[in-house]
Structure 1
Amino acid sequence: MEKLSVIASSPLFEMLSPAELTRLAELARVRSFGAGEVVFEEGDLGDSLFVIVDGQVEVLRRLPGGEARPLTVLSSPEFFGEMGLIDKEYRSATVRAKTPANLLQLTAQDLRAFRQSHGDGFTFVVVNIARSLSARLREANARLASKV
């Protein structure tokens, strides 16, 4: 698996130059998860963004009684965990591998290093994170409205 091609295919990193994409690929770590294995738990402190290389992950939310309710299933080249990079808050959901999955992980520290060497590219990434969050909020609002 070539990290560079995965990063280049992610909509989060569109508009980055080849040098910027190469730098992100150098910073990213590959993490492998078996089916059912937890990537992060609701309540963990967020510090990483993940890009799906292959496989699927599911996002779950715990109900007041403790039962986990699936919210969505994501696959390549989608990304998740970006909120933890923005607000440095605790995770609001659990993510686990639905199938065996390989993920690229970029930590907040990685993105700070990227910002120092590629400030303009970092701005594009932040704008794309904001677009992603906005779209996900609109989708959640639409789902809520359809249940009323």
Structure 2
Amino acid sequence: MPPQDALRSCALFKGFTETGLQILAGIAVERTYPRGTPLFVENMLAESLFIIADGRVGITVRNGADELPLGELQRGDSLGELALVQQGQRLCSAMALTPVTAVELRSVDFQRLMTQKPQACLKLLMAIVSQFGARLQANREAFKALLPRP
């Protein structure tokens, strides 16, 4: 699947014009991962956003010696969005459960593009923030449990 089609299939890019998709597809790189291969590992430097073009990806987090499953992602889903927003470490691991084709948007390329095509980049950043807010809202009770009690 061409990178532009993978972007089009992802909710983060809903509302993007074809021109906007073309701009971001210009820095996108298609990657393939055999079954059992990590896309990234918890605590490694977060450098890229991924959009799954084909296959299934399992998300896990370490708890001592155990790997706890958090969920499964598939075609059209995105992961690693915060890598475009801030530097930091991966909060979880992502493993190919089947052969996976993903489109990668590297932070370094995105930052460079930001100076050339700020409107497309800002639109993607706003979509990431909006998605993050929706996820927080959907998990409101779990989030409240993490807050310190007065």
Query: What TM-score do the two structures reach when normalised by structure 1?
Result: 0.89
Percentage identity across paired residues of the two chains: 26
For 1:59, the equivalent position in structure 2 comes to 59
For 2:135, the equivalent position in structure 1 comes to 136
For 2:71, the equivalent position in structure 1 comes to 72
For 2:103, the equivalent position in structure 1 comes to 104
Q: Alignment length, in residue pairs?
A: 145
The Cα shift of 1:100 comes to 0.8
Contact 2:23-2:120 within 8 A present in 1 as well: no
For 2:7, the equivalent position in structure 1 comes to 7
In structure 2, how many angstroms separate the alpha carbons of the residues matched to 1:141 and 1:17? 32
The Cα shift of 1:127 comes to 0.9
Instruction: Kindly provide the amino acid, as one letter, of the partner of residue 71 in structure 1.
Output: L
1:15-58 per-residue CA deviation (whole Å, 9 max, x = no partner) reads 22222211211211111111111111101010100000000101
1:97-144 per-residue CA deviation (whole Å, 9 max, x = no partner) reads 111100000011221233223211211111110111122223344567
Contact 1:27-1:110 within 8 A present in 2 as well: yes
Cα RMSD (Å): 1.9
Contact 1:7-1:21 within 8 A present in 2 as well: yes
Contact 2:34-2:98 within 8 A present in 1 as well: yes
Q: Which portions of structure 1, spanning 4 or more consecutive aligned residues, are displaced by more than 6 angstroms?
A: none
Query: What TM-score do the two structures reach when normalised by structure 2?
Result: 0.87
Instruction: Kindly provide the amino acid, as one letter, of the partner of residue 22 in structure 2.
Output: T
Instruction: Kindly provide the amino acid, as one letter, of the partner of residue 71 in structure 2.
Output: T
Contact 1:46-1:81 within 8 A present in 2 as well: yes
Structure 2: give runs of 5+ residues left out of the alignment. 145-150
Contact 2:52-2:103 within 8 A present in 1 as well: yes
In structure 2, how many angstroms separate the alpha carbons of the residues matched to 1:144 and 1:36? 31
For 2:24, the equivalent position in structure 1 comes to 24
